């Protein structure tokens, strides 16, 4: 998944679940007890199929929220949309109301399926839910926009990036019309589009969308909110990919301070930001600063996720690279050996992540003159990458040429030249494509 995210379970949290409006919790926590009581009354009326009374209650909620947040606030928009849904359901037949309840069940089951890794089942349920919502509420309903956003998230997890792009765009059109531009649900679509474009290597377009997400999230969540911090980190990662390192650090360091204050020093989300800061310093070849932040991130991941969790191992691998850059070759080698053993346990001996660890350790041992140990590591890495990725993949070719250099250094130039010849060819693209417009 690259920098988009690491594990499927983490992706589900970002791509499937909603962080804005929902039928169960349609408003942010209000400081007004009267608003809370009216919300609870409205939801109670809905549960009893008394939708006219529910609509009246939502109307009263809206009036109170106008005084609390202003008529253009996203909280008022949510109350207005909740009222509209109740008014529509007041005219539904018992069979249609049963379908509405089934939609909610399908959406909950889809999240469960996706978390378990059954993306086909998740997509099937969400598509079924979307079809029902289209029929009952129309193609311009905010409920349809939310479901399309979830569908797009599953498509991303399946690697169907162009289909996900189109679905997110459809969702964004409806969201801007129904929720308005300054709304959590509109914001999260910009955020996810930015992540998708970054994954596809279209960094400037990604920044256009993430800038929108940053601006909206600051307005709707506040500048000390962890959601706003997440958007800052994502924008920072894209700046880092564009080589704008100081701008990246500005965003990430701001995010990290928010996360430390609001979530705690050992929060997983702070760990992710610390890791990205460390990687940025690594790209700047500032080994000392990189080690400092990557060590903090690795410690957090190990305490929160375990020592052989993929995030922990990947961060330790990056920490080892920073150590090697600083000239701490022995320490780097020892850490890479731990990472390799962990990847073999977590991913298996013939996985590309394990192969990458073998490559890194083989390169380092070669630099230290331990060709006897380096050679089988590079040889195994090349075997796995050739089998899984193919000869034309840039990672495979990088390993092949590193192995060839080792053969040259050990007076086997004929084998080295043959290896280079076998692995010379057109390299595959780094990132999947998306429409340019």
Q: 252 in a domain, yes or no?
A: no
Q: Half-sphere exposure of 183 toward its Cβ, with a 13 Å CA cutoff?
A: 30
Domains held by the chain: number? 1
Taking only the tens place, the pLDDT of each residue in 162-172 is 999 999 999 99
- What's the rounded mean pLDDT across residues 37-44? 93
Tell me what pLDDT residue 425 has. Answer: 72
Residue 408 host element (H or E): helix 394-409
On whether residue 353 sits in a domain, the answer given is no
In this structure, is residue 173 part of a structural domain?
A: yes
| Confidence label for 33 from pLDDT (cuts 50, 70 and 90) | confident
pLDDT at res. 397? 94
What does the pLDDT read at residue 291? 98
- Give the CA radius of gyration of the chain: 25
Is 44 contained in some domain?
yes
How does residue 3 score in pLDDT terms, banded at 50, 70 and 90?
A: very low
> Domain containing 100 — which CATH number?
1.25.40
| Euclidean distance between CA atoms 15 and 7, whole angstroms | 12
Mean confidence (pLDDT) of the chain: 90
Residues counted in the chain: 437
User: What ranges in 326-368 are assigned the alpha helix state H?
Assistant: 329-347, 352-367
Average pLDDT of the segment spanning 211-238: 96
- pTM for the model stands at 0.87
The residues, any chain, with a CB within 8 Å of residue 14's CB and separated by 6 or more, are 5, 153, 192, 195
pLDDT tens digits for 380-402? 999 999 999 999 999 999 999 99
User: Which residues, including other chains, have CB under 8 Å from residue 48's CB and lie 6 or more apart?
Assistant: none
Nearest of 395, 384, 382, 388 to residue 427 by alpha carbon: 395
**Within-domain flag for 103:** yes
Let me know if residue 240 belongs to a domain: no
Q: What are phi and psi of 73, to 5 degrees?
A: -75, 155
C-alpha separations of 45 from 38, 80, 420 in Å: 10, 16, 73
3-state helix, strand, coil in the chain (%, to 5): 75, 0, 25
**What confidence score (pLDDT) does residue 12 get?**
41
How confident is the model at residue 68, as a pLDDT?
Answer: 87
Domain that holds residue 142: 1-22+30-180
User: Does 22 have pLDDT greater than 90?
Assistant: no
**Is residue 176 a part of any domain in this protein?**
yes
Contacts 24+ apart (CB under 8 A), 286-295: 287/322, 287/323, 287/325, 287/326, 288/326, 290/318, 290/322, 290/325, 291/319, 291/322, 291/323, 291/326, 294/318, 294/319, 294/322, 295/319
Q: Does residue 427 form part of some domain?
A: no
Q: Which pLDDT value is given to residue 21?
A: 37
């Amino acid at each position: 998944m690259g920098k988009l995210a690491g594990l499927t379970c983490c992706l589900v949290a970002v791509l499937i679940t909603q962080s804005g409006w929902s039928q169960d919790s349609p408003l942010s926590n209000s400081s007004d007890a009267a608003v809370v009581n009216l919300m609870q009354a409205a939801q109670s009326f809905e549960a009893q199929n008394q939708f006219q009374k529910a609509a009246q209650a939502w109307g009263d909620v809206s009036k109170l929220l106008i005084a609390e947040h202003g008529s253009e606030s996203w909280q008022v928009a949510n109350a207005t949309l909740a009222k509209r849904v109740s008014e529509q359901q007041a005219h539904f037949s018992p069979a249609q109301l049963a379908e509405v309840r089934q939609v909610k069940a399908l959406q909950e089951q889809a999240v469960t399926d996706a978390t378990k890794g059954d993306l086909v089942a998740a997509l099937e349920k969400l598509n079924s839910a979307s079809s029902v919502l289209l029929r009952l509420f129309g193609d311009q309903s905010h409920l349809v926009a939310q479901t399309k956003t979830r569908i797009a998230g599953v498509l991303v997890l399946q690697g169907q990036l162009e289909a996900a792009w189109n679905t997110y765009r459809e969702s964004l059109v409806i969201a801007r019309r129904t929720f308005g531009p300054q709304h959590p649900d509109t914001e999260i679509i910009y955020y996810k589009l930015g992540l998708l474009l970054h994954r596809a290597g279209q960094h400037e377009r990604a920044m256009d969308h993430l800038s929108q997400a940053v601006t909206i999230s600051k307005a709707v969540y506040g500048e000390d909110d962890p959601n706003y911090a997440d958007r800052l980190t994502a924008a920072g990662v894209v700046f880092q990919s564009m080589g704008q390192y100081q701008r990246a650090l500005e965003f990430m360091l701001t995010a990290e301070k928010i996360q430390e204050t609001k979530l705690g020093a050992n929060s997983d989300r702070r760990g992710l930001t610390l890791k990205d800061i460390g990687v940025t310093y690594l790209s700047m070849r500032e080994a000392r600063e990189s080690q400092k932040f990557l060590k903090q991130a690795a410690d957090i991941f190990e305490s929160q996720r375990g020592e052989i969790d993929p995030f922990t191992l990947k961060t330790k691998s990056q920490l080892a690279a920073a150590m090697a850059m600083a000239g701490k070759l022995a320490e780097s080698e020892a850490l890479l050996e731990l990472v390799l053993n962990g990847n073999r346990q977590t991913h298996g001996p013939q996985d590309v992540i394990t192969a990458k660890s073998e490559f890194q350790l083989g390169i380092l041992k070669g630099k230290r003159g331990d060709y006897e140990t380096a050679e089988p590591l590079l040889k195994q890495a090349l075997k796995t990458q050739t089998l899984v990725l193919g000869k034309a993949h840039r990672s495979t070719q990088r390993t092949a040429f590193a192995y060839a250099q080792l053969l040259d250094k050990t007076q086997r130039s004929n084998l080295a030249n043959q290896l280079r010849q076998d692995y010379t060819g057109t390299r595959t693209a780094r990132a999947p494509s998306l429409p340019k417009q």
